[in-house]
Amino acid sequence: MTLRADHVAGGAAIAAALAVLAVSGDLPFGTLAFPGAGMMPKLICALMILFGAILLVRGGASTPFSDVGWSDLPHAIRVLAITAAAVALYTTLGFIVTMSLMLFALIALEGRNLVAAALYSVGISLLTYGLFTVVLKSPLEQGILGF
Amino acid sequence: METLDSLMLGFSVALRPDVLWYGFLGCLVGTLVGVLPGIGPLSGISILLPVTFGLDATKAIVMLAGIYYGSQYGGSTTSILMRIPGEASSVMTCIDGYAMARKGRAGAALCIAAVGSWIAGTFGVVVLTAIAPPLAAFALRFGPPEYTALLVLGLIFLAYMSSTSLPRTLLMAAIGLLLGTIGIDNLTGHFRYSFDIAELGDGIGIVPVAVGLFGLGEILSTPSATVVGEVMAPKLRELLPNREEWRQSAWPIARGSVLGFLIGLTPGSAHIISSFLSYAVERKLSRHPEEFGKGAVAGVAGPESANNSASTGAFVPMLALGLPTGPVTAVLMAALIVHGVQPGPQLVNEHPDVFWGFVASMYVGNVLLLLLNLPLVGLFVNVLRIPYSYLYPLVIMFCVIGVYTVNNSIVDVWIMLIMGVLGYLLRKLGLDPAPLVLGLVISPTFELSLRQSLIMSNGYWTIFFTRPIALSLFVIAAVLLLLSLLALIRRRADWRTKLAQAETGEAAQ
């Protein structure tokens, strides 16, 4: 049997619903007449299992999973890793430092000129900081360095 | 007469210099958002939402709505000149718009797209002016059972209209509904799935989910090497279509306007669906269907008019019923709520300046967009000369700022990152994230109105079948569900399957 996109989607949905049900133990279901806090999520999980099962059973017409292109995966991982690092540092280092570093890293990894990338990154960060703080009166994170 | 008086009140608000300025700013940013591939109206609105916190509700909604319908205008520019849809609803314009450009008629195609958008946008606002207030008055009869029925109908309609399969759409909506249950249960005070993270107590916001799924997800799946930057800039004197082109575009614009508005009223990605349907209708009605794909004027005029009219139509349920029909209207609703204005039946009476000011601003905005888009097309095209490798990091930065500034919460930014990964994976599996966002938005209202209904009836579910409006809505939902199930069981190619095939075929061309 060929593994298809709908099989993967259906399987993932069922697994996610079962995981949610597993952590829902302490939520009271109540009764159908007087639902508790757990009724809605548990009913939705049941629906997810139902729709996931339909996808598993009827997934034969969808794209074979091996045909799904993953050529953009290295780009996605790079962008995600750099952005995650920036998010982790954001409240500590503040907007200007974090965003300058993030922009520089993302552009440098694209193979662009490093000096141009550095100037662009710092310039854009300062400009945005000024725009939000001075013009839009919507202060951005300052961090431990005070800017 | 009363409507005209109210509209005059609206114009007195919309034409105030400060409101006009924010409307212009929204239209300008919207056009840029539409022009730039990788940023859709949803990301644009979400990113700029925190910027509106310092404004009053009228200016905020006028500016954010300007971004929405401005992006529909701007999306056609890249479609026609570069064969890159700046916005998902402009995919169909790529086919014949770019073919016209290759024949040296780029200016005419841009002009027809802009004029068609203007006519359709204005038509949409005229109908909205006429039907939103009576619809809101009717909706005052709605109680929790009617709202429950309406939300169920909305979800079923979304699944029925979807050109992908029923279980896929409902699965996405169910995931959204589940995410919407995170946080404190309003009726019992139980914490649900918050895992001792205080920020999750208030639930998951629309903005991090929408920006993650649509903004970041798009960037993750678009490596810079795949973005080609060949730009064909038309000269100003080449912008006017000839008499034959005007003649060929007249009926498609009229049909696109009506079709788009009607689809705009329904839940789902109406502005996208309407452009695909309009293209299919025009090709079906054409005496020369073989010209489609080779530069048919109707292939530009119809879809461009339809997507603009649909984006206006989507405001009707939002303003009159307080119901979002898609992720964009959901974020706009969130913007109004942030400013202390609750969209819905009471909006016309409680905040006439906001309601009518907003409606009148759309008349003004459509004129502004026409004036902006034609003479300044060369300027907008120059934005596309910025290399993508410099552009996408900038978009990521604005995604982070946009999400963080809403609640000053870094947890929201982490949620955005997780949603970005989910959006990337959903694209790989061919699943549409729009129903997920819609599910997330309606989840709290749905659960609350369902449980309030049961409290009202002392636990009897018959309350949904003893109230005429709720019963009618449930009957319509049941009919739609049966129709969808029949197609599913018979595995027969109905109009939605054919539309999906057309979408894939045309996009691949």
- B17-47 residue pLDDT tens: 988 998 898 888 888 888 776 667 777 787 7
Enumerate the residues of chain A whose CB falls inside 8 A of the CB of residue B404.
90, 141
Find all residues with CB under 8 Å of B8, minimum gap 6, and list them: none
pLDDT tens digit sequence for A38-63:
999 999 999 999 999 999 998 887 88
Residue B507 is predicted with a pLDDT of 40
Residue B179 is predicted with a pLDDT of 95
Q: Which residue has the higher pLDDT, A144 or B500?
A: A144
Phi/psi of residue B489, nearest 5 degrees: -70, -45
Q: Do A130 and A78 share a domain, yes or no?
A: yes
Report yes or no on A104 lying in a domain: yes
Report yes or no on A145 lying in a domain: no
Residue B509 is predicted with a pLDDT of 37
Q: Do A55 and A107 share a domain, yes or no?
A: no
Residue A83 is predicted with a pLDDT of 96
Q: Do A81 and A63 share a domain, yes or no?
A: no
Q: How many helices (H) and strands (E) does chain A have?
A: 4, 0
**Domain containing residue B283:** 2-508
User: Cβ(A24)–Cβ(A40) under 8 Å?
Assistant: no
Average pLDDT over residues A21-32: 90
Q: Do A60 and A93 share a domain, yes or no?
A: no
Report yes or no on A126 lying in a domain: yes
pLDDT mean across residues, chain A: 91
Q: Which of residues 215-254 of B touch A (CB under 8 A)?
A: 216, 219-224, 226
CA pair distance B98, B80, nearest whole angstrom = 4
CA pair distance B298, B246, nearest whole angstrom = 10
Residue B242 is predicted with a pLDDT of 87
Enumerate the residues of chain A whose CB falls inside 8 A of the CB of residue B429.
5-6, 8-9, 68
ipTM comes to: 0.95
CA pair distance B358, B307, nearest whole angstrom = 20
Q: Which residue, B316, B2, B291, is CA-closest to B128?
A: B316
Residue A38 is predicted with a pLDDT of 92
pLDDT tens digit sequence for A58-100:
888 788 998 888 999 999 999 999 999 999 999 999 999 999 9
Residue A49 is predicted with a pLDDT of 97
Enumerate the residues of chain A whose CB falls inside 8 A of the CB of residue B226.
72
Q: Do A82 and A129 share a domain, yes or no?
A: yes
Residue B85 is predicted with a pLDDT of 66
Looking only at Cα atoms, what is the longest distance across chain B?
A: 71
Domain boundary among A49, A67, A85: A67
Q: Which residue, B31, B32, B72, is CA-closest to B308?
A: B72
Domain boundary among A29, A52, A67: A67
Query: What is the total count of domains within chain A?
Result: 2
Report yes or no on A119 lying in a domain: yes
Could you say which of B168, B397, B404 has the minimum Cβ distance to residue A102?
B397
Residue A121 is predicted with a pLDDT of 96
Report yes or no on A147 lying in a domain: no
Query: What is the total count of domains within chain B?
Result: 1
The burial class, CB within 10 Å (0-12 / 13-18 / 19+), for B483 is middle
Q: Cβ contact (<8 Å) for B171 and A9?
A: yes
Please say whether the dihedral angle defined by the alpha carbons of residues B381, B387, B390 and B392, taken in this order, is positive or negative. positive
**Residues of chain B whose pLDDT is less than 50?**
503-509
CA pair distance B304, B114, nearest whole angstrom = 8
Helix (H) or strand (E) holding B229: none
Q: Cβ contact (<8 Å) for A31 and B414?
A: no
Q: Do A95 and A131 share a domain, yes or no?
A: yes
CA pair distance B382, B436, nearest whole angstrom = 35
Q: Do A93 and A107 share a domain, yes or no?
A: yes
Roughly how many angstroms between the first and final C-alpha of chain A, as a whole number? 59
Enumerate the residues of chain B whose CB falls inside 8 A of the CB of residue A58.
165, 167, 488
Q: Which of residues 179-218 of B touch A (CB under 8 A)?
A: 181, 185, 187-188, 190, 192-193, 216
Q: Cβ contact (<8 Å) for B447 and A40?
A: yes
**Domain containing residue A83:** 73-135
What is the least distance, in Å, from the CA of B269 to any CA of chain A? 21
Strand pairing category for B191-192 and B183-184: antiparallel
Residue B508 is predicted with a pLDDT of 38
Q: Do A9 and A61 share a domain, yes or no?
A: yes
| CA triple B65-B68-B72, angle to 5 deg | 140
CA pair distance B419, B425, nearest whole angstrom = 10
Could you say which of B178, B221, B459 has the minimum Cβ distance to residue A44?
B178
